[in-house]
Structure formats: structure tokens, C-alpha cells
């Protein structure tokens, strides 16, 4: 019996040395993603080893150090699994800052995978805890995360309130860069709502951010400037900036960033009526998003791909994308987007020779828009009227 106990202690000590080695390796190479690529299988084995030893404090350190690597390389399922495992044993982590960072990372990946309700719950929990320990960086990040959740749900007023909280915190801390980022997003929100006077202000802020962040922030600032140029209708300039960013992201192996920029390039090509290029960009982005289980990306991609297929007259190919877009919008809690996607699905179904089903789909869209008090209800009424007129002539 004593020999068995000794062997067990020996193997536990060996396992612990193995896991400790790879924890140190991650901490020493935290931004050297190619070095982590080479050891990725051993990194997951080390995490599993710590789990078998119930070493939750070490797991928390490991997951915090791995977060950028797993996120960038698209290991979203693995990242969420280990974050959730850590949160389930968070009482074993003494450091309140470490606890908040783990919760913050979980909220971010949860939101990205489309679980908005869970993300909202986590962000509110983080805000409450961060206020208790005055962890202001975490507080600002949490408000920004909550802003993106509300924005993706169409809750624009609540989103703006969160962004204003970010601005207030930045001003209190004298963080000029964070303040400018917040102002840039606020100006862009105004721009998207038709406030043309926001145009010079937002471009000025974007230029200032480029100077402040320098080479380290080149991808972020170039992406923001590209996005703003597209919003202003300057598609050629936006495309040039995005193509430059895409080259950099591919070189760095940033899967999420690559998928996002491909999506933006697809939108630009569609706006320029280059439907073949649009589809190529969007389908490549979709392949990455599905591999990563990126529901946020798919919420954007599915209706976009469906609409491009419709513009090509390929309605049968559009149907599955539009059907999934409705499911994803429902999961995210954005009823306005559900109604919009139903509207386009009705068009696709009507053009595949099933007017009765199309009528039912348009009716569901109209019911939601009417319940929301949206002016979009009128366009559905108009198309329903046209459809019923055609149906009555056909049956006559």
C-alpha cells in the first residue's frame, strides 16, 4: 500500500512538473504565437493535467496567459471551455483582479459566440465586482463589452449609455487614447444615423488615434479608418485600407481579424455591384467563422450571402442562408433583425414558386415590425399587397 502511495506521489509530481513547464513556456512566449503554435497540443495536455490535480489557481494563470493566442488562432471552443471550468471553481482564486480578468474573457467569448443573454449577465456581474475593488481598466472594458452586446441586439439607447460610461472613465483617468476611441465610436453612431456633421469630426479623431497608437495600433486604426470611409461612401479608399489590413492579418495568422476584414471587403464589393468578388470574400469569411463557431460573424454573414445569391437570381442557394439568419437573429434576441431576415426570406421563397408560403413568411415579418412600432412595417405591407394581387390574378 505504501508503495502505491509513493508511486502516486511520484506520478503527480512528474505531472505537475510537466504542467509547470508549459505554464512557464506560455508566460515567456505570450505574444510569440508561432512558438505557441508548435506546442499547442502540449498546452492543452498541461491544462488537463492541472485539472486532474485540481490546481485551479494555476489553470487561471494558464488561461489568462493563453487568452490572446486561443482567441487569435480561433480556438474559441477550447477557450470558452477552460474559462467556464475556471469560473466554476473561481473561489479557489484569491486574487480579485485575476477573477475579474477570467470573467471578462468569458464574457467576451460568450458574446462572440452569440450567447448575448449570458454575456449581458456576465458583464453586469463584472461591473459590480470591478466597482467594489476599483479595477477601472476592467470597468471600462466591461462597459465597452456591454455596449457591443446592446448594439448587436439593436438596443441603441442602452448601447450609447455604456459608451458614455467608457468616456467618463477615460476622462477621470486622463486616458486620452481611450477617450478618443470612445468619441470615435459615438461620432460613428451619429454618422450611421444620418448626422452628416459628424463626418469631419470622426475622420479627425481617427487620424489622431493613428498618430497616438503608432505602429502597434496600425491594424486597429487602419480598420477603423476603412470602416469610416465605407460609411461615408468612399468605397475605393475603404477597400484599399482593408486589403492592406488583410495582408497583415494573414501574415499574423489572426483568424478572427481575417474573417472580419473579408466580410467588410465582401460588403464593399456588393456595394460596387461586383457580386462575384463579394461572394468569394463572404464565403471565405464564412468558412473561418464556422470553424471558430463565431456566431456574431455568422449573424452578419448569413443574410449578406443570402442577399448576394438573390441579386444573382440564385434563390435556391439563398434560402438556407436566409433561414439560418433568422435562427441566429432569434438566438441573439434582435427581433428587428428577425423581421428583416423574414422579409428577405419571403422574397426568396416567392421567387422559387411558393407564393402561399411566402405570404405566411411576410405575415410573420409584418407582425414583428408592427409589434416593434417600426416604420419598416409599411414596406412589408406593400409587398404583401403586390403578392396577393399576383396570386389573385394567377388563380383567376
Which cell goes with 262?
473579408
User: Binning pLDDT at 50, 70 and 90, where does residue 184 land?
Assistant: confident
CATH architecture for the domain at 294-391: Alpha Horseshoe (1.25)
CATH number belonging to the domain at 217-290, selected among 3.40.50.300, 3.90.1150.10, 1.25.40.10, 1.10.520.10: 1.25.40.10
Residue 164, exposed/middle/buried by CB under 10 A (0-12, 13-18, 19+)?
middle
Q: 227 falls in which pLDDT band (50, 70, 90)?
A: confident
315 vs 305: CA distance, rounded Å: 11
pLDDT grade for 396, boundaries at 50, 70 and 90 = very low
Contact 90, 78 (CB under 8 A): no
Residue 294 has a pLDDT of 85
Task: Print burial letters for 188-213: b (CB count within 10 Å at least 16), e (below 16).
Answer: bbbbeeeeeebeebbbebbebbbeeb
Cα–Cα distance, 291 to 282 (Å, whole number): 14
195: left (phi over 0), alpha (psi -120 to 50) or beta: beta
Angstrom distance (rounded) from CA 153 to CA 142: 17
Mean pLDDT of 164-179: 83
- The dihedral over CA atoms of 354, 356, 357, 361, expressed in degrees to the nearest 10, equals 130
> Using one digit for the tens of pLDDT, what is the confidence trace for 286-314?
999 998 888 888 989 999 999 999 999 99
pLDDT at 250 over 80: yes
Report yes or no: 202 and 184 within 8 Å, Cβ to Cβ. yes
**How confident is the model at residue 179, as a pLDDT?**
76
How many C-beta neighbours within 10 Å does residue 168 have?
A: 14
* Cell numbers for 142: 466591461
Q: Which of 14-18, 212-216, 311-315 is modeled with the greatest confidence?
A: 311-315
| All structural domains of the chain with their residue ranges | 217-290, 294-391
Provide the pLDDT for residue 280: 97
- By mean pLDDT, which of 62-76, 182-196, 332-346, 354-368 is the weakest? 182-196
Cell of 83: 474559462
**pLDDT one-digit tens code per residue, 80-130:** 999 999 999 998 888 899 899 999 999 999 888 778 889 999 999 999 999
- Residue 195's pLDDT is 46
43 touches 20 (CB < 8 A): no
Residue 50 binned pLDDT confidence (cut-offs 50, 70, 90): very high
Q: What is the 3-state secondary structure (H, E, C) of 38-83?
A: HCHHHHHHHHHHHHHCCCHHHHHHHHHHHHHHHHHCCCHHHHHHHH
The pLDDT score that the predictor gives to residue 8 is: 60
Distance between CA 150 and CA 200 in Å, rounded?
A: 26
pLDDT at residue number 174: 80
CA 156 to chain centre: 17
Nearest of 200, 93, 181 to residue 143 by alpha carbon = 181
CA distance 164 to 383: 40
What pLDDT band is residue 1 in, cutting at 50, 70 and 90?
very low
User: Is 114:328 a contact under the CB 8 Å cutoff?
Assistant: yes
Nearest-angstrom CA–CA distance, 109 and 331: 16
Residue-level pLDDT at 12: 74
- How much is the pLDDT for 25? 92
pLDDT of 192 = 56
Report the alpha-carbon distance of residue 64 to residue 104 in Å, rounded: 10
**Same fold yes or no, 217-290 and 294-391:** yes
Residue 331 or residue 375, greater confidence: 375
Amino acid at each position: 500500500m505504501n508503495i502505491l502511495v509513493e508511486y502516486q506521489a511520484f506520478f503527480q509530481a512528474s505531472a505537475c512538473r510537466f504542467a509547470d513547464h508549459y505554464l512557464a513556456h506560455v508566460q515567456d512566449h505570450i505574444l510569440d504565437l508561432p512558438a505557441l503554435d508548435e506546442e499547442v497540443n502540449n498546452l492543452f495536455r498541461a491544462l488537463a493535467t492541472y485539472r486532474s490535480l485540481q490546481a485551479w489557481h494555476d489553470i487561471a494563470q494558464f488561461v489568462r496567459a493563453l487568452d490572446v493566442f486561443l482567441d487569435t488562432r480561433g480556438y474559441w471552443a477550447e477557450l470558452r471551455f477552460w474559462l467556464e471550468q475556471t469560473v466554476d471553481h473561481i473561489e479557489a482564486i484569491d486574487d480579485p483582479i485575476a477573477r475579474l480578468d477570467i470573467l471578462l474573457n468569458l464574457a467576451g467569448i460568450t458574446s462572440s459566440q452569440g450567447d448575448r443573454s449570458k454575456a449581458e449577465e456576465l458583464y453586469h456581474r463584472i461591473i459590480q465586482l470591478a466597482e467594489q475593488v476599483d479595477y477601472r481598466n476592467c470597468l471600462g472594458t466591461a462597459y465597452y463589452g456591454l455596449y457591443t452586446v446592446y448594439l448587436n441586439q439593436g438596443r441603441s439607447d442602452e448601447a450609447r449609455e455604456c459608451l458614455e460610461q467608457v468616456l467618463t472613465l477615460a476622462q477621470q483617468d486622463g486616458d486620452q487614447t481611450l477617450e478618443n476611441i470612445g468619441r470615435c465610436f459615438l461620432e460613428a453612431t451619429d454618422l450611421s444615423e444620418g448626422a452628416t456633421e459628424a463626418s469631419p469630426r470622426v475622420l479627425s479623431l481617427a487620424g489622431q488615434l493613428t498618430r497616438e497608437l503608432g505602429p502597434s495600433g496600425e491594424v486597429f486604426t487602419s480598420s477603423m479608418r476603412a470602416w469610416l470611409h465605407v460609411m461615408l461612401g468612399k468605397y475605393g479608399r475603404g477597400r484599399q485600407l482593408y486589403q492592406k489590413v488583410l495582408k497583415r492579418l494573414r501574415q499574423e495568422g489572426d483568424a478572427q481579424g481575417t474573417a472580419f476584414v473579408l466580410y467588410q471587403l465582401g460588403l464593399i464589393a456588393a456595394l460596387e455591384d461586383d457580386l462575384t468578388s463579394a461572394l468569394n470574400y463572404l464565403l471565405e469569411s464564412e468558412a473561418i467563422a464556422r470553424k471558430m463557431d463565431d456566431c456574431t460573424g455568422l449573424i452578419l454573414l448569413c443574410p449578406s450571402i443570402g442577399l448576394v445569391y438573390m441579386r444573382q437570381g440564385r434563390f435556391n442557394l439563398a434560402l438556407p442562408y436566409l433561414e439560418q439568419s433568422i435562427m441566429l437573429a432569434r438566438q441573439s434576441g434582435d427581433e428587428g433583425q428577425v423581421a428583416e431576415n423574414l422579409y428577405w426570406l419571403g422574397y426568396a421563397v416567392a421567387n422559387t414558386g411558393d407564393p402561399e408560403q411566402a405570404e405566411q413568411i411576410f405575415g410573420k415579418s409584418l407582425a414583428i415590425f408592427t409589434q416593434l412600432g417600426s416604420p419598416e412595417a409599411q414596406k412589408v405591407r406593400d409587398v404583401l399587397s403586390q403578392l396577393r394581387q399576383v396570386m389573385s390574378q394567377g388563380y383567376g
